[in-house]
Structure 1
């Protein structure tokens, strides 16, 4: 039997369309003549009840290929499922919503920083540091406070590795890593609890 090697993608995002083909969710190798036919196989026809997430299991793909090409042996490499996110009528947020979210985040971050400094008595620490270095007691040692405030902002920019859309290097920042982990958990949950394609196959 001729082997076919299929590597499923972990997760993909596609615009709303009528059908999902095998080449959309996987990479295929191991054959040449029938490769275009297998790549263009319709794995699932999208319906309105599918909503925004579809999970396509490797068992469904193997079953479809063997039913059409019984002389081939299918080998699945990598993930055993592909989570398909369907983007339907994606709207861009308005400037008012963006400004409101930005304002809330700005106020929240400012309050968090101020409360942290109050808890650790940062002002008192800076006053004592000024006294240790100069021998004078000053209520507002600006020569320490101003560079400290500038350094705090620059440190946050370097930590998150972003200046608007510009990145300083190719390393992912902590926020991107957390979003990636969150998306992985969502995909894993969908694969276990919302395997719609497999459920529909069982119903038929």
Structure 2
């Protein structure tokens, strides 16, 4: 007799396949969760590492900014000190210039000229005065030009005023102060004398 299988094998097979499907689906879900956890952990570690590097860089930037501020402050102090040094050197170089200037003013003034004011702006002197005649002003300008401590006399104003009959003209003269260059023999002698 022929054997007939009356068991519901198709339903059993369908159940078996469903179990396998759910098992594979569960395994895929577990694998996907594990993979996503690894990805999140990896990128989280990368982000944490980058954040740590950023924090370190920010700290280093703050330190460098502080050093830059200190350097800028030192540069400002250096500039102030150099300016002071330059002023001191200029004063040292020109300390006798005023003495020589007043000495030359006395030597160059001809008779019939009276100075009323002297103003200094840098190396420029503005001399105001009274004079007997135009010829006296010309003589004064020649004397200034021949002086070693003053040069480039420039007559700005000369005009007659009624106030003083002995000195009827008022003048304004601009003169450039200079330091005379010593002759070679004088410079060598001065250097040798200064060294002793």
TM-score tier by shorter-chain length is: under 0.3
- The structure that has the greater radius of gyration is 2
Larger relative helix fraction: 2
The structure showing larger relative contact order (alpha-carbon pairs under 8 Å, at least 6 residues apart) is 1
Per the normalisation by structure 2, the TM-score is 0.22
